[in-house]
């Protein structure tokens, strides 16, 4: 080989060796897996999705979105993320987001959360980053009455969460975080009909589309005496049905009660009007685990 060719070969070899050594020093991103095992979530329909978030020192990082079918099965339970992000995550939070959401930040509707202990976390609604309460102190009573009408013939057509001797509030419920409201329901012939949303147990709720011409007390409740939904007839008879208090996402994309229903009260077929009827606790909430 001629001397000039030898020199060229040597320079090329040195450049290649330097490049190889330099690339070896660069960090190579490693992916890990985050796995969800959650029970009790409901189908959100086509307008909303669930989204997971890792809370890191740099802020929340999305772990991905998924949906839930009518049987409660997750559309996806394992998600690939950069291992450094997984290692940095101290808390997992599950939110409800609009479908096709353009906002890169988490919504205010936090339904489950849990702190990691080593590589796993137990998820529940009572974590401070979710609803912040297990609702074990929830309690309530209601009466059958129709204060918005003058007749006494339709008193079984209204439900009110109040004690008429005051009147005073009869619900014991914790204050909800932003992103959630309470909603009252009357189950009429098997169909739940909303009595309105509220955040205060001693104030008027969101609306009274079914009431009569008269006034109503400043407490959650409704008279189902006018403007009946399709397929129903008002005035009605709530005896033999039920009264329910649910916890609803806000904003809410569904006219049906959400899966969180801390209080349910059955109404006997001979339940008296104007008398306090008890509600019972219904604390079957979504739970789960997440591992990384």
C-alpha span between 252 and 246 (Å, rounded): 12
Which residue shows structure tokens 């969180």? 260
Length reported for the chain: 292
Per-block mean pLDDT, blocks of 10 residues, the chain (292 long): 40 38 55 97 96 98 97 97 97 96 95 98 98 98 98 97 97 98 98 98 95 97 98 98 98 95 98 98 98 97
Considering only CA atoms, which of 154, 171, 146, 147 is closest in space to residue 278? Answer: 171
Q: What pLDDT, on the 0 to 100 scale, is given for residue 121?
A: 98
Show Cβ contacts of residue 102 under 8 Å, excluding neighbours closer than 6 positions: none
CA distances from 101 to 22, 52, 65, 76 (A): 41, 14, 11, 18
C-alpha span between 220 and 248 (Å, rounded): 15
Considering only CA atoms, which of 100, 51, 97, 45 is closest in space to residue 76? Answer: 51
Q: What pLDDT, on the 0 to 100 scale, is given for residue 29?
A: 62
Show Cβ contacts of residue 247 under 8 Å, excluding neighbours closer than 6 positions: 131, 176, 180, 181, 182, 183, 258, 260, 261, 262
Considering only CA atoms, which of 148, 151, 159 is closest in space to residue 237? Answer: 159
Q: What pLDDT, on the 0 to 100 scale, is given for residue 93?
A: 98
pTM score, two decimals? 0.89
Show Cβ contacts of residue 154 under 8 Å, excluding neighbours closer than 6 positions: 146, 223, 225, 235
Show Cβ contacts of residue 261 under 8 Å, excluding neighbours closer than 6 positions: 244, 245, 246, 247, 282
Each domain of the chain, given as residue ranges in start order, spans: 31-133, 141-284
Considering only CA atoms, which of 179, 135, 145, 160 is closest in space to residue 221? Answer: 160
């Amino acid at each position: 080989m001629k001397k000039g060719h030898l020199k060229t070969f040597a320079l090329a070899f040195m450049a290649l060796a330097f490049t190889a050594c330099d690339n070896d020093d660069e960090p190579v991103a490693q992916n890990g897996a985050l796995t969800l095992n959650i029970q009790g979530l409901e189908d959100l329909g086509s307008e909303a999705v669930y989204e997971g978030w890792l809370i890191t020192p740099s802020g929340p990082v999305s772990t991905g979105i998924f949906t839930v079918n009518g049987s409660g099965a997750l559309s996806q339970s394992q998600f690939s993320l950069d291992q450094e992000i997984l290692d940095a995550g101290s808390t997992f939070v599950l939110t409800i987001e609009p479908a096709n959401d353009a906002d890169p930040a988490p919504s205010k509707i936090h339904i489950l959360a849990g702190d990691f202990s080593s590589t796993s976390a137990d998820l529940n609604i009572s974590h401070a980053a979710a609803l912040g309460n297990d609702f074990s102190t929830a309690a309530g009573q209601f009466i059958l009455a129709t204060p918005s009408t003058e007749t006494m013939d339709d008193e079984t057509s209204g439900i009110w969460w109040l004690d008429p001797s005051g009147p005073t509030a009869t619900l014991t419920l914790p204050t909800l975080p932003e992103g959630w409201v309470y909603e009252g329901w009357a189950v009429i012939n098997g169909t739940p009909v909303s009595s309105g949303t509220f955040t205060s147990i001693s104030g008027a709720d969101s609306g009274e589309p079914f009431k009569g011409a008269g006034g109503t007390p400043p407490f959650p409740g409704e008279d189902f005496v006018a403007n009946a939904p399709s397929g129903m007839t008002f005035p009605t008879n709530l005896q033999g049905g039920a009264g329910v208090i649910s916890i609803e996402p806000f904003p809410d994309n569904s006219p049906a009660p959400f899966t969180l229903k801390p209080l349910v009260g059955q109404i006997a077929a001979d339940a008296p009007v104007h008398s306090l009827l008890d509600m019972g606790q219904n604390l079957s909430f979504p739970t789960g685990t997440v591992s990384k």
